[in-house]
Chains A and B, each alone.
Chain A
Amino acid sequence: MVNIYRVYAISMIYALWMLRNKLFYLYLTVLLPFTILVPFLIIAPARLGPFIAVGTVILTLMYCFSTASQDLAVDRLLKRIAILLTKPVTPLEYFLGILLSNAMQTLPATVIVIMVLWVAGLIKIGDITLLLLGLVAGWYILTIMGYITALTLLSRDYNTIIIVSNSIAFILTFMAPVYYPLEFLLEQLRILAYLIPTTHIANIIGKACNIEYGVPPTITYTYLPILASLLTTITLKSLKLKDVY
């Protein structure tokens, strides 16, 4: 049984820091996405503009991955997790709390980024339901990937977790075809790109904005649910909160 109050409390404990930190919110909604967007727009041909815009949305969503992986590492480093672990919290409740916290932090920021891109004429939203589906898929899969990354690395020191999670974040953002279409990749690398979840998240968001990445939708709509189920199963069955020690 999941205690909803407990999930809410865990999410608030983690989310309030950022929701109250205006500078950080500014970083997430403006500084981080647009410092990459602007130079990419300058150096890339105009036809790639919409891809770069979707890539910017994905970059903002990547905060779910970074937060899920690094929050736990910071909490362990600062020994804040010690108190939560003494309370009657189940691994599922803790995970749902992190998930909800990420939704509170990242989804409003992502919506702000999309609005700015839309107002700037960089993207045209054709299907709002599909857009929401892409955002929710991104939020869920990236959070769960970050969570698993943190828990599997928790025997290592804080710096290792940060380095590994940053490396994965870079692969998810720049090695996958999110800022550019799939055809830009070498033939041999396309198979690998299919395995990276952000390829498919960008594909869904791209479809919602009438942008064609060249990734077959059947692969996207088959792969993402299977991946989400697999990651959920791993989280719920294999990982215990005790592993934090």
Chain B
Amino acid sequence: MVEIRCEDLWKIYGSGTVALRGVSFALVDVSLVILVGPNGSGKTTLVRIIDGEISPSKGFVSINGLSPDVARAKGFFGVMPQEARLHEYLSVREYLYYLALIQGLNRHEAKREVSRIIDDFMLQEYASTRIEYLSAGFKRRILLAQAFLGSPEILLLDEPTVGLDPEMRAKLWDIIMRYARERGSMIILVTHYIDEVRDIASRVLLLYKGQLIFNGNPRELLSKMGYKYRVQVRLRGSKALETPPLRLHYRSGDVIEFYVVDEEELIKLLNYLVSLRDWVSEFSIDRPSLEESYLRLIKLLEGGGSGQHL
């Protein structure tokens, strides 16, 4: 079981920039955590404090009761930094082999581990190629692969799929999700593609201007939208609606959007639409995305003052 506790974390850089403002949370036996927030909200700083790369100005972090420095020395972490480049004059296999040794494996273990990682990340074809000759997508894949060397207890992946095409992104999500399921590692994922991992994420941490404004599961974040379904109806002509069953709706020309809070309301609305069937040309039902919920929270904060915990 992996446990991360952050208590009243503050980070003030030398330039005076306050990156974190009293962030506290506990992650106990959670498999996949999504860390989200607008640019400059402190996500990368938080990741770097957790893995002991930098120290907080105030507050503390403990990893299974250990300080980040001690946890790092014990090889607890596999990290994919947001911005990092590889030693490109090495081949893929050499680079991963040396990093496996640095991770603490001996020569035989390192060779075995590198072969496994090369297979898992589908790098076989280019294993002997110098990294400098590979495409940006492959380099990104190697950057991600090195984090998994030695099956560390905690994986901190800072925007692992940024800049990749959808196909490559889907492949990398598959790999990450498989590790989350099979290896028992805790994965902390900084990403803007939150809806791509919403189904397997067990926790969402939302940072805004250095403050943790949401800490819960994806379902709880979705509930912040205030509705569960969105029903879009296109009418024939400009039919005036008489006593629609929902207070929450919005009309623009011949298109009406209804925001439905539960199944009971949905049935009521569908019955209403049946009564209007001669006027309805088409309709669709969808669920709000995690990204929409997240953006709504941010909008609320920007409109209604920052720092309010939701």
Chain A contacts to B: CB under 8 angstroms = 3, 5-6, 8-10, 12-13, 16-17, 20-21, 78-80, 82-90, 242, 245
Contacts and interface: CB of A to CB of B under 8 A. Distances in A.
B81 A87 contact: no
B288 to A, nearest CB: 36
Contact of B102 (A10, A21, A242): A10
B74 A5 contact: no
A86 B77 contact: yes
Given A242-B55, A245-B53, A87 B102 contact: yes
Interface of B: 51, 53-55, 72-75, 77-79, 81, 83-87, 89-90, 94-95, 97-99, 101-107, 110, 143, 146-147, 156
Given A5-B101, A5-B106, A17-B89, A79 B74 contact: no
B84 A12 contact: no
Given A80-B86, A83-B86, A90 B73 contact: yes
A197 B33 CA distance: 53
Nearest to A11: B98
Contacts of A242: 53-55
Contact of B90 (A16, A82, A89, A245): A16
A83 B106 contact: no
B90 A13 contact: yes
Contact of B54 (A17, A78, A89, A245): A245
Nearest to B104: A88
Most buried by B among A79, A82, A89, A90: A82
Nearest to A6: B102
Most buried by B among A78, A79, A83: A83
Nearest to A17: B89
Contact of A79 (B85, B98, B107): B85
Given A17-B87, A242-B55, A86 B107 contact: no
Contacts of A3: 104
A86 B79 contact: yes
Nearest to B73: A88
B99 A9 contact: yes
Contacts of A16: 89-90, 94
Contacts of B104: 3, 6, 88
